[in-house]
Amino acid sequence: MTLIKYTLFSLLLLFLASCRESGDVTVLKLGHGLDVSHPVHLAMSYMAERTAEYSEGSMRIDVYPSQQLGTERELLELLQIGSVDITKVSSSVIEGFDPIYKVFSVPFLFEDEEHRYRVWDGEVGRSLLDKGERIRLVGLTYYDAGTRSFYTKDRAVHHPRDLEGLKIRVQESPASIRMVNLLGGSATPISWGEIYTSLQQGIVDGAENNPPSLHLSRHYEVVGYYTLNEHTAVPDILYASLSTWNRLTDEQQAILRRAAEESAIYQRVLWQQATERALSEVSEAGVEIIIPDKGPFIELLAPLYEEYKAESDELAGYIERIQRLAHE
């Protein structure tokens, strides 16, 4: 780390530490990387409102969007040392901290939206949230991030063979990299904030994400095709710092959990609306929406199930429990 970067990081830590108390009000700092128009940001703002209401003003959440306090990975590290109190992270990123979260990157694991919600809202979802304590995090709730599909600049993708030779941006996720490479593409990890320029300059030929992210990021301005193969349904997870959590009273913890869970329900409504709007507007802007046969994608990715199950008995157990819930 350079001296300048180290100094800036140290100043950030001092700033964060200095902003924890405000009279008799417990102030919690929530940082994330999304735009203020994103459904997840709106949901976290809703959580902040509910927290203030339920605590009768004795608790306050200050929300810092758009990577003001750091990238997603940096925020996770700040959370672990207690310098930031709350953040949201894609489960694809958190798998780099605890491999149990690879379960959410298993392709075509969820049959539909109802199946996803049954998992997240039930015993399996709660159990996975509780695993956060192994890495000094407290899982609060899940935010719906829909399903991820491929968008490309110059070549329409109707079949996995159409991905051959294409550089596809993925998150810093071993599971995502393996998935794209199995399909014949060349997985290229790039941070969220660099995707637009990378597409524009030809550093990558495409990416994979959900409809609202394609729309709100304006990536649709530099791509021509969106293939709704819906290979994964990777949720966002809202975490609190374990050190912050341990400083809160039982009553404050209960308030924060209640507000977080209510914000997740609110976010699902916003997400559905944002998804419908995104598909409509990117289509109107000239992006061709493709509905492919998912069969070839499922067939090529089938080996991943056995690979993940072989990694650990714990991971295999969660995959099997989630699959069983599809039929309950």
pLDDT, tens digit (0-9, with 9 covering 90-100), for 245-273: 999 999 999 999 999 999 999 999 999 99
Cβ pair 290, 85 in contact under 8 A: no
d(CA 185, CA 178): 10
Predicted local confidence at residue 19, as pLDDT: 44
More confident residue, 22 or 241: 241
The conformation of residue 183, written as its DSSP 8-state character, comes to T
| Residue 216 and residue 35 in contact, taking contact as beta carbons nearer than 8 Å | yes
pLDDT at residue 242, rounded to an integer: 98
pLDDT at 123 over 90: yes
The CA distance from 229 to 297, in Å, is 8
pLDDT of res. 82: 96
Report the CATH number of the 148-233+278-325 domain: 3.40.190.170
Stretch among 4-18, 35-49, 133-147, 275-289 having the lowest mean pLDDT: 4-18
- Residue of 298, 148, 117 lying closest to 233 (CA atoms): 148
Whether the domain at 3-145+235-276 and the domain at 148-233+278-325 fall into the same CATH topology: yes
* pLDDT mean over 5-21: 49
What per-residue confidence (pLDDT) applies to 71?
87
Model confidence band, residue 35 (pLDDT cutoffs 50, 70, 90) = confident
- The whole-angstrom separation of Cα 182 and Cα 189 is 15
Per-residue pLDDT at 112? 94
Looking at every residue in the chain, the average pLDDT score rounds to 93
What is the average pLDDT across 129-158?
98
- Whole-number Å distance between alpha carbons of 47 and 52: 9
Residue 287 is given by DSSP the state P
Give dist(CA 107, CA 297) in Å, integer.
9
Taking Cα atoms as reference points, which of 204, 145, 142, 148 lies closest to residue 179?
148
Least trusted range by pLDDT, from 49-53, 96-100, 135-139: 96-100
**Nearest to residue 59, comparing CAs of 238, 247, 243?**
247
Give 61's strand partners. 28
Provide the pLDDT confidence category of residue 328 given band limits of 50, 70 and 90.
Answer: confident
Q: Which helix (H) or strand (E) holds 30?
A: strand 25-31
Q: Where along the chain do its domains lie?
A: 3-145+235-276, 148-233+278-325
Residue 55: half-sphere exposure toward Cβ, Cα within 13 Å: 28
Q: What is the mean pLDDT of residues 3-22?
A: 48
CATH annotation of 3-145+235-276 = 3.40.190.170
Residue 7's pLDDT band, with cuts at 50, 70 and 90, is very low
pLDDT in tens, 212-244: 999 999 999 999 999 999 999 999 999 999 999
Sheet hosting strand 288-290, strand order edge to edge: 186-189, 167-170, 206-209, 148-152, 225-232, 288-290
* Residues 109/322, Cβ–Cβ less than 8 Å: yes
DSSP state of 70: -
Q: What is the pLDDT of residue 327?
A: 82
Tell me: the pLDDT tens digits for 281-307? Answer: 999 999 999 999 999 999 999 999 999
Please report the pLDDT score of residue 9 as a whole number. 52
Q: Report strand pairing: 225-232 vs 167-170.
A: unpaired
Cβ atoms of residues 102 and 315 within 8 Å: yes
Name the residue with tokens 């349904």.
233
- Taking the C-alpha atoms of residue 139 and residue 180, their distance in angstroms, rounded to an integer, is 28
CB 230 within 8 A of CB 146: no
Q: What digits encode the pLDDT tens for the residues 58-82?
A: 999 999 999 999 988 899 999 999 9
326 backbone dihedrals φ, ψ, rounded to 5°? -65, -20
d(CA 253, CA 174): 33
What does the pLDDT look like over 150-208, one tens digit per residue? 999 999 999 999 999 999 999 888 889 999 999 999 999 998 889 999 999 999 999 99
